[in-house]
Amino acid sequence: MHQALYRKYRPKSFDDVVGQEHITRTLQNEISAGRPAHAYLFTGSRGTGKTTCSKIIAKAVNCPHQDDGNPCGLCDICRGVDDGSLMDVTEIDAATNTSVDNVRQLREEAQFTPATGKYRVYIIDEVHMLSSGAFNALLKIMEEPPAHVIFILATTEVHKIPTTIISRCQRFDFKRIAPDIIAARLKEVSLNEGFGLQDDAAQLVAKLAEGGMRDALSLLDVCRSYSDDVTADIVAHAAGLMMEDTLFKIAESIHDGDLPTVTALLDEVNSTSVDYSSLTAQMLRYYRNLMLIKASGGKTEVAGIFAQQAEKYREQQAKFTLEYILYCLSVLQETVTALSRSQQPRIDLEMAVVKMSDITLDSSPKALLARVAKLEGDIKSGKVSVQPKAEKAAQDEQQKAESSQAVYQDKPVTDLTKIVPFTKWGEVLIKLQKKNAALAGALAKSEAFLYNDLVLIKSDGEMFLNMIRTSDFAKQSIHESIIEVTGKKHRLGPYRSDKYEIVQEKSDPLEELISKVEASNDVDFSVR
């Protein structure tokens, strides 16, 4: 099996860690003198060696063959740290173990002397994610640490760490690694792996990686899969394609409602130093491309995209409706705005993703209501116009007249009034789909009945009732759809089994059939 280059080339000793000499030298001195600190804080950008150095420390302080502060890498203890089997070394991902209880447990355990080695080492990654309760519990042990305990805290966001914790640690700031140093390392790796890497290609990879060795190695991995002789052209190409491919997968999984995959993809992108704001911007650009291609009937040239990606774009736009793409664009646009003043960019992006995937699942009233609300807002503010201007004036008149009447009548006309099925309801829903897709979705499984000029709607969904009660636009769009189908204005009301009795009218069977077929062809919900 192919092992990712960045894993395969994780430095085994301090001598192998590049670009962080100011840190590795100090650590080596402390360890070889037998005086490691009780707590280290490693900060700095992604993929620069924080976790790598934590592991080397864990090995070196316990390895019986330690030499100049370096672990031997071969003994049982070193191998036990590498494969995570050594009891004395505990790696905690604070992103998933944020609670006080986790830290309390750690506190009790830390009192025991180590089982095999000299030190119990606790590596707490992403330490900024700990809750404040957990930080307090951690502080308690750090105030009086047992002599055999070493804490190594690693984070990319040091400003989120309480100063009380910082002040108890020996702090090291990992620098972004200089492009020349990265390039030299990449050349080494390519030599060792037996593939060609042009000098300018190595430089370009190093530049794109922005100081992160992991990113550099990941990109090199992709380049190598294209060719045995990696050129600058291949690098430029691979970098672009890598992102496009990920965006394609993200859009696909969102559309399929596959949230675990989306989450994994977001993690993956984020781990390559793309922050959530720029990822959101990239997604916005991606959906805009989809929109352009969709609107132009599948022509990929309009979006100016890579030839290799054209087929994927074409495939995807065929699967998505224009309404859906537009919906996603609006969610992302909101998110871009929200992100500019957000403390929790990840949550904002996740909210957007959930909204975008729920519309296809048709299951979240919130997502749909949010959509209706946005549409309403846009319409009220005049940002979008749902109908031609000439029609609008007439419509305004009608709306005025309507608002003076009781439009949505909750009270039945009389007790057990006889009502008949409204056979054209299917057609009404088709019209409604174009005007207000969210509402049409909410009414997907509805039925309707007629009593003179009163249309009684039977829908199980709370969502529909909420929409119709809170939104003039919702009422308006049903009214319009009914007028378009029947040519007449109707009042609206809710169906209630305790107030109405349904009688089957002798309808024209042919007409009913036509209505049903039309409904099933044009919209993706069936009319019972």
Q: Which residues of this chain interact with Mg ion, rule CB under 5 A?
A: 50-51
Going by C-alpha positions, the residue among 413, 404, 402 that lies closest to residue 450 is: 413
Distance CA 113, CA 119 (A): 8
Establish if 431 lies at the interface with ligand ATP (CB under 6 A): no
Pick from ligand ATP, Mg ion, Zn ion, none: which does 78 bind, CB < 5 to 8 A by kind? Zn ion
Distance CA 434, CA 147 (A): 71
Distance CA 186, CA 348 (A): 36
How near is the Cβ of 207 to ligand ATP at its closest, in Å?
A: 17
* Residue 26 one-letter amino acid: T
Establish if 316 lies at the interface with ligand ATP (CB under 6 A): no
Query: Which of 26, 51, 99, 227 is close enough to bind ligand ATP by CB under 6 A?
Result: 51
Distance CA 56, CA 71 (A): 7
Distance CA 105, CA 111 (A): 11
Pick from Mg ion, Zn ion, ligand ATP, none: which does 66 bind, CB < 5 to 8 A by kind? none
Nearer to ligand ATP, 61 or 137 (CB): 61
How near is the Cβ of 210 to Zn ion at its closest, in Å?
A: 34
Instruction: Find the part of the chain contacting ligand ATP (CB under 6 A) among 15-23, 134-142, 317-325, 438-446.
Output: 15-23
How near is the Cβ of 235 to Mg ion at its closest, in Å?
A: 25
Pick from ligand ATP, Zn ion, Mg ion, none: which does 444 bind, CB < 5 to 8 A by kind? none
Pick from Mg ion, Zn ion, ligand ATP, none: which does 49 bind, CB < 5 to 8 A by kind? ligand ATP
**170: exposed, middle or buried (Cβ count in 10 Å: 0-12, 13-18, 19+):** middle
Distance CA 381, CA 373 (A): 12
Q: Name residue 151's beta-bridge partners.
A: 39, 122
Residues 6+ apart with CB under 8 A from 484: 431
Nearer to ligand ATP, 48 or 481 (CB): 48
Pick from ligand ATP, Mg ion, Zn ion, none: which does 72 bind, CB < 5 to 8 A by kind? Zn ion
Q: Which residue is nearest to Zn ion (CB)?
A: 63
Pick from ligand ATP, Zn ion, Mg ion, none: which does 176 bind, CB < 5 to 8 A by kind? none
Packing angle between helix 213-226 and helix 232-256, nearest 10 degrees? 100
* Contact between residue 316 and residue 248 where contact means Cβ atoms under 8 Å apart: yes
Handedness of CA 132, 137, 141, 144 (dihedral sign): positive
Establish if 20 lies at the interface with ligand ATP (CB under 6 A): yes
How near is the Cβ of 177 to Mg ion at its closest, in Å?
A: 14
3-state class percentages of the chain: helix first, strand second, coil last, to nearest 5: 60, 10, 30
Instruction: Find the part of the chain contacting ligand ATP (CB under 6 A) among 7-15, 56-64, 227-235, 457-465.
Output: 7-15
How near is the Cβ of 154 to Mg ion at its closest, in Å?
A: 6
Q: Segment 194-233, which members bind ligand ATP (CB under 6 A)?
A: 213-214, 217
Q: Segment 104-163, which members bind ligand ATP (CB under 6 A)?
A: 154, 156
Nearer to ligand ATP, 177 or 305 (CB): 177
Distance CA 154, CA 92 (A): 10
Residues 6+ apart with CB under 8 A from 172: 23, 26, 27, 40, 41, 42, 43, 44
How near is the Cβ of 160 to ligand ATP at its closest, in Å?
A: 14
Going by C-alpha positions, the residue among 431, 423, 518, 424 that lies closest to residue 481 is: 431
How near is the Cβ of 266 to ligand ATP at its closest, in Å?
A: 14
Q: Segment 256-315, which members bind ligand ATP (CB under 6 A)?
A: 271
Q: Segment 34-93, which members bind Zn ion (CB under 5 A)?
A: 63, 71-72, 75, 78
Establish if 36 lies at the interface with ligand ATP (CB under 6 A): no
- φ/ψ of 310, rounded to 5, equals -55, -45
What are the residues binding Zn ion (CB under 5 A)?
A: 63, 71-72, 75, 78
What are the residues binding ligand ATP (CB under 6 A)?
A: 6-7, 9-11, 17-20, 46-52, 154, 156, 177, 213-214, 217, 271
